[in-house]
């Protein structure tokens, strides 16, 4: 059975898909469960862990492969001078797909997949329509207030640069979905500390308290990935399904129901009817996932 | 786990004295004792003719496995040239490898008779699925495999037209679409075993499918 | 320098050089309070949590949490050695990495392995290799990847324990499991403490009149053999004769 | 990789059980050590250590620079150990890289320990300017036991180091480094530890292993010892394991051997530095 799956994987999947069911027991328009937990890492300014699939003992056939995608994102805030392009600071996203998450990756420079995903996330997160960085000014005070009043002014105006690192823990398909959800959940939970400057010009972050700053999220973005296998469209594909597919489609929707972006790879075409269906599914999924993200505040 | 905690052992655990026990799969001997080398359930098999009891540890999940001499492997042909074919080994026995190992079937190992007359192009094509036996650990790159037995050889191949071919003799297969014959070193009983395999699978699949649909419906309610 | 350039080329960077503000324990006068906050007995471990089989794609995996220290390990293989000479037994390769955000008391870690991480990778190979029956897997390599998601002390010993669990979870035949632990010698009172936190590690390594340091030991309990021993800081020899 | 035959190996292992090694030493005997200081004129301090075939050169260079943010009142140290690829084929490529890394980190750990080396003395303007000490070790030839040779060399080179005098104008935050060769201070090296390395071969263990012995060892333990007999670092190498009793024995013998070594080294360094006062130039290639 398992050898059959390995050797004739496309035949194996076709036998299931002919009955509109997938090897893991889902129907074609059935997304896996999304579970989010936030602020797991105290060493960062905000963090989130996202797991898609296998959140409750899911039925598995043959045991091969899939176990759910998991991704963690943590944000470290650093201080730097503002530039013309970044008067309010910036969020810098990097995606690390280390060899731990799949046998496809090896140590060394990041794969193109990781770089492309990182670029895509950066674009989404830097768009002024979703996030507002305006309140993100650094609050600094002198340690042991210096008598000289002119000294007070010498504190330079600084802004926050937030390094968001997305680590992929287990790559079982729809990694972009997990990454974007993790990124927004982490941003939502970022706390920016007050800074104190000592005599030696050391900048020291004070413990987080009620006055610590937050980032204003205007709209949550929720992505949904679809895989196109022959004529069929599968929502939230697993790694195995992604490999067999002739194309992937990612639809990002906003909490108010509007469409943000569509990203499609692969050469196969998709007719109108199917695309509309996909957008409907994406909008539905957006609601459930957004609820999950907001509950983690 | 199902055997209860009593019989679950961890690597390094001392299982018994070598006077009374013999070391089986998943165990090793250190000093005078048999120790477990994997996590799993302890199993005792009575020895033949009143010999020592065989102690083995049955692993909880599919163990890690590498091809070994004499094991029968399933492999996909990746490259063909006049002297040998390169394959990637996918399964060892009935166990699936997580990642493929490279193997090689040399010209002299294709069949048992008329070794020097073997024409590789008339035996394998890239993409074929082959059943073969490991004859040596080979060189630094690949394992050396052999198909020099009746029951070894190509078990699954697609024709030029893209249809799954049916064996017609031990050295040819026919395309059901175009009715053209193509040469292959066919494994004896390949037709039988693979079709049975597929039939069995379909049956199980259909059963599981109904099971699954029922469960999903239950869950939805 | 080359590593630095690779980092920049393949990743997004801020337009300016930025600094991470220091942890609040660096505030003048707060150093002393670091050590006082130990809320457990000196021979007591922190609460820990272990789970195996969390990475479906890997042959074996484990997750270990010791209070705030969080370590994840995935095993891939035995798989084919890429382009290497023939070998009768398997080769164990370890790759130890701190997540960039793993530590709060220092600057962000780099994406590529630094000297310390390379050393830890090597120490892990040494600690684990003698526990495995490598002869069972000729011509292959076992890859062990470790990411420390958060380090609050005991990253190395946690990584060794976690990797040994993951190797067992992968079903790789081994002589014994390796358990690792660390102890610290408090420079102020010469006390020996089990399982120090990151703040304690930093303070102990600074040392003082009575020495002070951290020792990590990897041990195979069934075989009664030490597989790894590693010390940083000073410890009087008498303390060794426990 | 240096390799010896099976019978040679048996001969070595058998000898170690009888406490006689192939060069006539007992298991816990060191080979004779040759230490020379001040061998490089362009450095602030240098030393060359020869242990039979092992030949190590250590140079110390001082520079001024900014302190690390975490420690504004302390000088900085950079250690780098490099094995000459020409010395042994195993130093080439990645094998050499990991060995260099291991050696570097052991030395770094020995030196950076605050109780052995007081870095606060290397602050020039608190929070602004400190001395950066570069310790560069070069392995010219390998005859086994690199760890101990390098640690001895580092201690000797630091002892030999002359820190130039710095004139500081705190108000203007200006400074000038004196170029007068007579105006300098010495570094206090009395608390700097040295390492003693044991190799477990068969069931016995030896100290200061030769390259033949190293090729058949299962475990290598490097123990750092200071003048007081404190254990300052511990590092296991090799791919074997070791039982706790042997471990304790090693640590106890390390203390004895280490203290004796330091005593010997200090005596030599003392006479050397006295000699230095009288005859200034000692060339690199002059006499063995």
> Mean pLDDT score of chain D, rounded to an integer?
85
What total of structural domains would you count in chain B? 2
At residue B193, the pLDDT reads: 44
Q: What is the mean pLDDT of chain C?
A: 85
Task: Please name the helix (run of DSSP H) or strand (run of DSSP E) that holds residue C201, with its range, or none.
Answer: helix C198-206
Residues B76 and B184 in one domain: yes
Residue A2 in any domain: the answer is no
CB-based contact (8 Å) between D229 and chain C? yes
- Nearest-angstrom CA–CA distance, A22 and D49: 70
Residue A237 sits in which domain range?
9-295
Strands (E), C138-191: 140-150, 179-185
Residue C170 is part of a domain; what is its CATH number?
3.30.230.70
For every residue of chain D, DSSP letters joined together read -----HHHHHHHHHHHHTT--TTS--TTPPPPEEEEE---TTSSEEEEEEETTEEEEEEEEEEEEPPBTTBTTS-EEEEEEEE-TTT-GGGSHHHHHHHHHHHHHHHHHHHH-TTTS-GGGGEEETTTEEEEEEEEEEEEE-SS-HHHHHHHHHHHHHHH-EEEPEEEETTTTEEEE---TT-EEE---TT--EEEEEEEETTEEEES--HHHHHT-SEEEEEEE-TT-EEEEEEEESS--B-HHHHHHHHHHHHHHHHHHHHHHHHHHHHHHHHHHH-----SSS--
| Predicted confidence (pLDDT) at residue B218 exceeds the cutoff of 60 | no
Tell the residue number behind the tokens 């490529």, with chain if given: D93
Inter-chain contact D221–C229, Cβ cutoff 8 Å? yes
Parent domain of B107: 72-190
Residue A134 and residue A87 in contact, taking contact as beta carbons nearer than 8 Å: no
Residues 113-142 of C with CB under 8 A from A: none
Q: Tell me the shortest Cα–Cα distance from B72 to chain C, in angstroms.
A: 17
C21 occurs within a structural domain: no
Within 8 A of C122 by CB-CB distance, chain D residues are 98, 101-102
Mutate to test the interface with C, among B14, B39, B64 (most CBs of C within 10 A): B64
Q: Does B201 or D206 have the greater pLDDT score?
A: D206
- The answer to whether B26 contacts C138, with C-beta atoms less than 8 Å apart, is no
Q: Which residues of B touch C84 (CB under 8 A)?
A: 140
The model's pLDDT over A258-280, given as tens digits with 9 standing for 90+, comes to 889 998 888 788 888 989 999 99
Q: Are A147 and A60 in contact (CB under 8 A)?
A: no
CA distance A27 to chain B (A): 9
Mean pLDDT, residues D103-131: 82
- Shortest CA distance from A19: residue in chain B: B209
Is B39 part of a structural domain of the chain?
A: yes
Contact D135, D56 (CB under 8 A): no
- Choose, out of B212, B213, B215, B216, the residue to mutate when testing the contact with A (most A CBs < 10 Å): B212
Query: Chain C contacts of D248, Cβ < 8 Å?
Result: 240-241
Any CB–CB contact under 8 A between D107 and chain C? no
Residue of A278, A295, A258 whose CA lies nearest to A31: A278
Spell out which residues of chain A touch residue C73, defining contact as CB-CB under 8 Å: 100
- Are B93 and B22 found together in one domain? no
CB-based contact A7 B90, cutoff 8 Å: yes
Dihedral (CA of B39, B41, B46, B52) sign: positive
| CA-to-CA separations, B206 to A16, B127, B199, B202, B210, in angstroms, rounded | 8, 28, 11, 6, 6
Separation CA C240–CA C225 (nearest Å): 17
In this predicted structure, the answer to whether residue B26 has a pLDDT above a threshold of 80 is: yes
Q: What is the pLDDT of residue C139?
A: 85
Point out which residues pair with C48 in neighbouring strands: C66
Q: In angstroms, how far is the first alpha carbon of chain A from the final one? A: 45
Highest mean pLDDT, choosing among C13-22, D148-157, D176-185:
D148-157
Residues B86, B15, single domain; the answer is no
At residue C93, the pLDDT reads: 92
Q: Which of A12, A61, A64 sits opposite B96 (nearest CB)?
A: A64
Count of structural domains, chain D: 1
pLDDT score recorded for residue A184: 93
Cβ contact (<8 Å) for A19 and B129? no
* B162 lies in the same domain as B87: yes
pLDDT at C64 over 50: yes
Considering the domain architecture, whether residues B13 and B116 belong to the same structural domain is answered as no
Instruction: Answer yes or no: do B49 and B15 share one domain.
Output: yes
Range C53-58 average pLDDT: 86
In a mutagenesis test of the A interface, which of D67, D74, D127, D129 is the best target, namely the one with the most A β-carbons within 10 Å?
D127
In a domain, B210, yes or no: no
Query: For all residues of chain A together, what is the average pLDDT?
Result: 84
Q: Does C111 touch chain A (CB under 8 A)?
A: yes
D80: domain CATH number? 3.30.230.70
Query: Are residues B55 and B158 located together in one domain of the fold?
Result: no
Task: Name the residue among D226, D235, D241 with its Cβ closest to that of C220.
Answer: D241
d(CA B105, CA B89): 11
**Do B147 and B86 share a structural domain?**
yes
Tell me: the pLDDT tens digits for C198-230? 888 887 877 666 678 889 999 999 888 999 999
pLDDT at residue C10, as a whole number: 84
Helix ranges (H only) for A127-203 are 149-153, 175-188
pLDDT attached to residue B204: 59
Among candidates B197, B208, B216 on the partner chain, residue whose Cβ is nearest the Cβ of A4: B197
Give the least confident one: A171-180, A218-227, B181-190.
B181-190
Supply the range of the domain harboring residue D170: 6-277
In a domain, B200, yes or no: no
**Is the CB of D164 inside 8 Å of chain C's CB atoms?**
no
**Spatial contact of B43 and B55, defined as CB atoms under 8 Å apart:** yes
- Lowest-confidence range among A7-11, B200-204, D206-210? B200-204
Q: Which residues contact C188 (CB under 8 A, 6 or more apart)?
A: C35, C208, C210
pLDDT at residue C2 is higher than 50: no
Closest residue of B to C222, CA-based? Answer: B12
Using CB atoms, list chains with 3+ pairs below 8 Å to chain B. A, C
User: Regarding beta strands A195-197 and A140-142, do their DSSP bridges make them parallel or antiparallel, or are they unpaired?
Assistant: parallel
Question: Smallest Cα–Cα separation from A47: which of A214, A216, A184, A252?
Answer: A184
Question: Is the pLDDT score of C190 beyond 80?
Answer: no
Alpha-carbon distances of A292 from A21, A42, A164, rounded to whole Å: 27, 21, 21
Q: Which domain holds residue C99?
A: 40-240
Planar angle of CA D236, D241, D243, nearest 5 degrees? 100
Domain count of the fold of chain A = 1
Measured CA angle at B123 (ends B121, B128), to 5 deg: 100
Residue-wise pLDDT tens digits, D164-187: 888 887 777 778 887 777 778 888
pLDDT recorded at residue A165: 95
A202/D126 touch (CB, cutoff 8 Å), yes or no: no
B213 lies within 8 A of chain A by CB: yes
Task: Determine the 3-state secondary structure of B130 from DSSP.
Answer: strand
**Residues of chain C contacting residue D105, judged by C-beta atoms under 8 Å apart:** 115-116, 119
Is A199 part of the contact surface with chain D (CB cutoff 8 Å)?
Answer: yes
Touching check for C80 and chain A: CB below 8 Å?
no
User: Cβ separation of C234 and D230 shorter than 8 Å?
Assistant: yes
Residues B185 and B76 in one domain: yes
Residue D284 lies in a domain: no
Residue A3 lies in a domain: no
Once rounded to an integer, what is the mean pLDDT over residues A112-133?
89
User: Which of the residues A143, A200, A202, A203 would you substitute to probe the D interface, choosing the one with the greatest number of D C-beta atoms within 10 Å?
Assistant: A200
- Give C-chain residues touching B35 at CB under 8 angstroms: 175-176, 222
Q: Which has the higher per-residue pLDDT, A71 or B96? A: A71
A292: β partners = none
Whether residues B51 and B160 share a domain: the answer is no
Which of D219, D241, D256 to mutate: most C Cβ within 10 Å?
A: D241
Which residues on B lie below 8 Å from C60 (Cβ)? 64
Same-domain status, B106 and B171: yes
Which residues touch D27 (CB under 8 Å, ≥6 apart)? D16, D19, D21, D204, D205, D206, D207
Of B9, B129, B37, B121, which is closest to residue B78 (Cα–Cα)?
Answer: B129
| Closest A-chain CA to C15 | A83
Chain A residue with the nearest C-alpha to that of C63: A169
Asked whether the beta carbons of residue C21 and residue A86 sit closer than 8 angstroms, the reply is: no
- 3-state secondary structure (DSSP) of residue A25: coil
- Give the model's pLDDT for residue A61: 36
Q: How far is CA D222 from the centre of its chain?
A: 12
**Which of A41, A206, A207 minimises the CB distance to C101?**
A41
| C6 interfacial to chain B (CB closer than 8 Å) | no
- Average pLDDT (B66-76) is 89
Closest CA to C162 of C96, C108, C208, C213: C96
Domain contains B185: yes
Q: Flag the least confident range among A263-277, C104-118, D111-125.
A: D111-125
Nearest chain A CA: its distance from D69 CA (Å): 7
C1 close to D (CB below 8 A): no
In a domain, A160, yes or no: yes
Show the tokens assigned to C168: 């067992």
Q: Percent of chain C beyond pLDDT 70?
A: 89
CATH code of B49's domain: 2.40.50.100
Closest CA relative to residue A186, chosen from A220, A159, A160: A220
| Residue D168 confidence (pLDDT) | 82
Q: Do B170 and B94 sit in the same domain of this protein?
A: yes
B171-182 pLDDT, tens per residue? 888 888 888 888
pLDDT at B62: 63
Tell me if A1 is assigned to some domain.
no
Measured between beta carbons, which residues in chain A are less than 8 angstroms from residue C95? 99, 107
Give the mean pLDDT of B8-26.
87
Q: What is the pLDDT of residue A294?
A: 86
Does residue D288 lie within any of the structural domains? no
Spatial neighbors of C235 by CB under 8 A, at least 6 apart, are C185, C211, C212, C213, C215, D230, D231, D232
A144 touching D (Cβ < 8 Å): no
In this complex, which of B129, B204, B212 lies closest to A1 when CB atoms are compared? B204
Give residue A60's pLDDT band: very low, low, confident or very high (50, 70, 90).
very low
A200 touches chain D (CB under 8 A): yes
* ipTM over the 0.90 cut-off: no
- pLDDT, tens digit, 9 for 90 and up, residues B33-45: 999 998 888 888 8
Strands B166-169 and B14-17: unpaired
pLDDT at C30: 63
- When divided into structural domains, chain C yields a total of 1
Burial of residue C70, with CB atoms counted within 10 A of its CB: 0-12 exposed, 13-18 middle, 19 or more buried: buried
- Note whether residue C173 is domain-resident: yes
A106 touches chain D (CB under 8 A): no
- D-chain residues within 8 Å CB-CB of A199? 127
pLDDT on residue D186: 85
């Amino acid at each position: 059975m398992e050898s059959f799956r390995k050797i004739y994987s496309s035949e194996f999947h076709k036998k299931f898909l002919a009955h509109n069911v997938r090897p893991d027991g889902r129907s074609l328009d059935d997304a896996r469960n999304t579970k989010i937990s936030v602020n797991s890492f105290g060493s960062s300014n905000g963090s989130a862990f996202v797991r898609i699939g296998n959140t409750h003992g899911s039925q598995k056939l043959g045991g091969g492969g899939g176990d759910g995608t998991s991704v963690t994102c943590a944000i470290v805030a650093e201080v730097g001078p503002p530039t013309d392009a970044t008067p309010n600071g910036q969020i810098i996203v990097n995606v690390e797909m280390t060899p731990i998450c799949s046998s496809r990756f090896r140590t060394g420079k990041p794969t193109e997949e990781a770089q492309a995903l990182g670029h895509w996330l950066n674009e989404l997160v830097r768009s002024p329509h979703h996030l507002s960085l305006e309140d993100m000014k650094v609050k600094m005070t002198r340690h042991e207030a210096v008598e000289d009043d002119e000294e007070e002014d010498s504190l330079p105006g600084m802004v926050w640069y937030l390094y968001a690192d997305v680590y992929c823990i287990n790559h079982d398909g729809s990694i972009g979905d997990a990454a974007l959800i993790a990124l927004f959940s982490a941003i939502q939970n970022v706390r920016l500390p007050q800074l104190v400057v000592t005599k030696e010009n050391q900048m020291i972050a004070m413990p987080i308290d009620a006055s610590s700053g937050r980032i204003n999220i205007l709209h949550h973005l929720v992505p949904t990935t679809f895989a196109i296998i022959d004529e069929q469209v599968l929502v939230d594909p697993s790694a195995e399904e992604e490999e067999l597919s002739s194309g992937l489609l990612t639809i990002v929707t906003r909490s108010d129901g509007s469409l943000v972006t569509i990203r499609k790879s692969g050469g196969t075409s998709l007719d109108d009817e199917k695309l509309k269906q996909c957008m409907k599914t994406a909008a539905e999924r957006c609601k459930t996932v957004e609820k999950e993200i907001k509950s983690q505040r | 786990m199902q055997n209860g905690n009593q019989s679950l052992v961890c690597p390094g655990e001392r299982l018994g004295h070598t006077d009374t026990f013999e070391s089986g799969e998943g165990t090793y001997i250190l000093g005078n004792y048999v120790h477990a080398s994997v996590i799993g359930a302890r199993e005792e098999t009575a020895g033949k003719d009143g010999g020592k009891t065989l102690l083995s540890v049955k692993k909880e999940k599919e163990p890690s496995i590498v091809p070994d001499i004499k094991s029968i492997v399933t492999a996909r042909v990746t490259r063909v040239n006049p002297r040998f074919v390169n394959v990637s080994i996918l399964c060892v026995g009935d166990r699936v490898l997580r990642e493929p190992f490279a193997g090689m079937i040399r010209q002299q190992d294709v069949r048992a008779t008329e070794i020097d007359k073997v024409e590789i192009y008339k035996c394998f094509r890239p993409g074929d699925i082959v059943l073969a036996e490991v004859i040596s650990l080979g060189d630094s790159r690949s394992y050396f495999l052999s198909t020099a037995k009746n029951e070894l050889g190509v078990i699954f191949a697609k024709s030029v037209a893209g249809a799954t071919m049916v064996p017609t003799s031990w050295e040819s297969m026919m395309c059901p679409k175009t009715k053209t014959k193509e040469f292959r070193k066919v494994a004896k009983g390949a037709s039988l075993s693979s079709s049975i395999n597929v039939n069995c699978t379909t049956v199980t699949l259909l059963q599981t499918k109904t099971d699954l649909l029922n469960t999903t419906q239950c869950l939805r309610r | 320098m080359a590593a630095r350039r690779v980092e920049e080329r393949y990743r997004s960077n801020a337009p300016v050089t930025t600094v991470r503000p220091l942890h609040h324990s660096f505030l003048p006068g707060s150093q002393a309070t670091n050590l006082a906050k130990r809320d457990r007995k000196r021979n007591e471990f922190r609460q820990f949590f272990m789970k195996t089989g969390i990475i479906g794609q890997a042959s074996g995996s484990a997750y270990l949490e010791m209070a705030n220290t969080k370590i994840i390990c995935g095993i891939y293989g035995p798989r084919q050695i890429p382009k290497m000479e023939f070998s009768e037994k398997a080769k164990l390769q370890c790759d130890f990495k701190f997540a960039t955000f793993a530590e709060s008391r220092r600057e962000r870690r780099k994406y590529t392995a630094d000297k310390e991480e390379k050393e830890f990778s090597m120490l892990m190979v040494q600690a684990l290799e003698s526990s495995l029956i490598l002869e069972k897997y000729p011509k292959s390599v076992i890859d062990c990847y470790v990411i420390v998601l958060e380090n609050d002390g005991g990253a190395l010993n946690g990584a060794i324990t976690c990797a040994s669990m993951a190797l067992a979870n992968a079903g790789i035949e081994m002589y014994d499991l390796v358990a690792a632990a660390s102890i610290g010698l408090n420079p102020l009172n010469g006390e020996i403490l089990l399982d120090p936190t990151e703040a304690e590690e930093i303070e102990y390594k600074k040392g003082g009149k009575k020495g002070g340091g951290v020792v990590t030991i990897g041990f195979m309990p069934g075989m009664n053999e030490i597989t790894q021993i590693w010390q940083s800081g000073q410890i009087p020899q008498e303390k060794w004769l426990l | 990789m240096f390799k010896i035959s099976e019978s040679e190996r048996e001969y070595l292992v058998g000898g170690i059980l009888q406490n006689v090694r192939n060069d006539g030493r007992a298991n816990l005997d060191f080979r004779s050590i040759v230490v020379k200081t001040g061998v490089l004129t362009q450095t602030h301090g240098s030393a060359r250590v020869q242990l039979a075939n092992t030949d190590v050169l250590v140079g110390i260079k001082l520079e001024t620079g900014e302190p690390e943010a975490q420690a504004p009142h302390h000088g900085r140290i950079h250690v780098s150990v490099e094995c000459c690829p020409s010395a042994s084929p195993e130093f080439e490529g990645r094998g050499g890289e990991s060995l260099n890394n291991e050696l570097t980190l052991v030395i770094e750990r020995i030196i950076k320990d605050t109780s052995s080396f007081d870095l606060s003395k290397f602050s020039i303007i608190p929070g602004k300017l400190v001395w950066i000490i570069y310790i560069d070790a070069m392995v010219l030839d390998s005859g086994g036991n690199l760890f101990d040779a390098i640690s001895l060399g580092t201690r000797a080179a630091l002892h030999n180091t002359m820190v130039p005098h710095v004139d500081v104008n705190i108000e203007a935050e200006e400074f000038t480094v004196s170029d007068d060769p007579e105006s300098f201070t010495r570094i206090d090296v009395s608390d700097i530890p040295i390492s003693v390395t044991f190799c477990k071969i068969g069931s016995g263990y030896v100290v200061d292993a030769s390259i033949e012995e190293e090729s058949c060892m299962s475990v290598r333990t490097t123990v750092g010892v200071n003048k007081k007999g404190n254990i300052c670092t511990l590092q296991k190498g090799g791919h074997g394991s070791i039982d706790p009793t042997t471990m304790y024995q090693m640590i106890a013998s390390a203390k004895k051997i280490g203290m004796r070594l330091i005593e010997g080294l200090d005596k030599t360094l003392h006479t050397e530095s006295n000699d230095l006062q009288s005859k200034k130039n000692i060339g690199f290639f002059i006499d063995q």
